[in-house]
Amino acid sequence: MRNFKENRRLVQSSLEPTPLWPRPETDDLVADLKRDGVIVLPNILSAEQLGDMQQAFESRLRRMRWNNIEGYQKTERHRHMVEDVLLLDQGFVDLAVHPLVKQIVTRYLGTDYELTEAKGWKSLSTRRDFHGWHGDAWYDQTTEKKIHREIKLAMYLTEVHSGAFNYIRGSHGKQHPRTVKNQEVENFDASRFVELTGAAGTAFLFDTSGIHRQGVPMLEPRQAIFYNYHDPRVRLQQEDVSYYRYHPLLLNAAFLGRLSREDQRILGFGNKTNLQSCFERQTQTPLAFKASSAIFDAQLRVRELRDRIAARLRRTFHS
């Protein structure tokens, strides 16, 4: 994978954005993506943009989301999920519709794709292989016979030495995406394994039908964002419909001032294909949630009672 190493060096050498991409460089990146299923991008954001994104992302990681307090979501032990990152900072939107990203993704997916998900997570240190080898299943494989293409754009927000993204070069487009056992992976030649360590700001694109995973062990926490581009008209697998995973993007009006018509299409403006009005997730309310809600309710009652007693005392002593 010729450009892989070259590009990674570019990312690590400077955080200045490259303003224009000469056609030959884009051609090379597209050719590498088609051949290998994964490419590292040159720097596309400035150090300032990256810093603002890191700060905004970090602010969502301080506590778990609750009531009127923003924070991360937690549905598994080793990851803190930050959904809908386009709400957080201009840089997240700029990255999603960056000219180089659009050029490459358009040449790989055609012109019907949209950004269908934009989230990130903090992976906690662990030696557990909790996010093993797989291709990303997303479309309804009971009705869709074609292996539909999907591209993810990933960017590290912290420096990554361990627990890096792993990909098996050239494994994309070969089978419908599914979980892959470790024994199956052992059959691939070692030269095809890519481990993508890198500085904060390292960005890469991959075809999600290719076999990939979060590397193990994760020796220090890692923060990364993952954007998902596919054709929203392709029928989704049932579990993602039930979870409402590919809901229309949640956006912040403050960051939408410089969008072209193409950007608006990519962000799904006006597209109701996967909208589920009045969606309510079918899940049992966890006991911990019920308990903390009850305690919080009791605290509010005590506070109200205290205020009423204080008001009565004030009235008594001032009359």
Ligand X SMILES: O=C(O)CCC(=O)C(=O)O
- Closest contact distance (angstroms) between CB of 226 and ligand X is 5
Q: Which is nearer to ligand X, 89 or 136 (CB)?
A: 136
Contact 167, 38 (CB under 8 A): yes
Q: Closest Cα to residue 40, out of 53, 50, 25?
A: 25
Span of 25-33, 89-97, 138-146, 211-219 interacting with ligand X by CB under 6 A: 211-219
Residue that is written with structure tokens 């029928």 in the block: 235
Which of 57, 72, 167, 226 is the binder for ligand X (CB under 6 A)? 226
Among positions 163-202, residues that touch ligand X (CB under 6 A) are 165
Q: Which is nearer to ligand X, 179 or 260 (CB)?
A: 179
Q: Which is nearer to ligand X, 29 or 154 (CB)?
A: 154
SS (H, E, C) 232-272: CCCCECHHHHHHCCCCCCCCCHHHCCCCCHHHHHHCCCCCC
Which of 122, 149, 213, 265 is the binder for ligand X (CB under 6 A)? 213
φ and ψ of 66, to 5 deg: -160, 135
Among positions 106-165, residues that touch ligand X (CB under 6 A) are 131, 136, 152, 165
Q: Closest Cα to residue 93, out of 245, 208, 252, 220?
A: 252
Q: Tell me: does residue 207 bind ligand X (CB under 6 A).
A: no
Span of 66-74, 87-95, 210-218, 231-239 interacting with ligand X by CB under 6 A: 210-218
Residue 218 CB partners (closer than 8 Å, separation 6+): 78, 123, 124, 125, 126, 127, 162, 163
Q: Which is nearer to ligand X, 125 or 293 (CB)?
A: 125
Span of 96-104, 139-147, 209-217, 230-238 interacting with ligand X by CB under 6 A: 209-217
Contact 35, 27 (CB under 8 A): no
- Residues constituting the chain: 319
Between the alpha carbon of residue 74 and those of residues 121, 135, 169, the distances in Å are 10, 23, 31
Span of 64-72, 107-115, 207-215, 255-263 interacting with ligand X by CB under 6 A: 207-215
Residues that bind ligand X in the complex, under the rule CB under 6 A: 131, 136, 152, 165, 212-214, 226
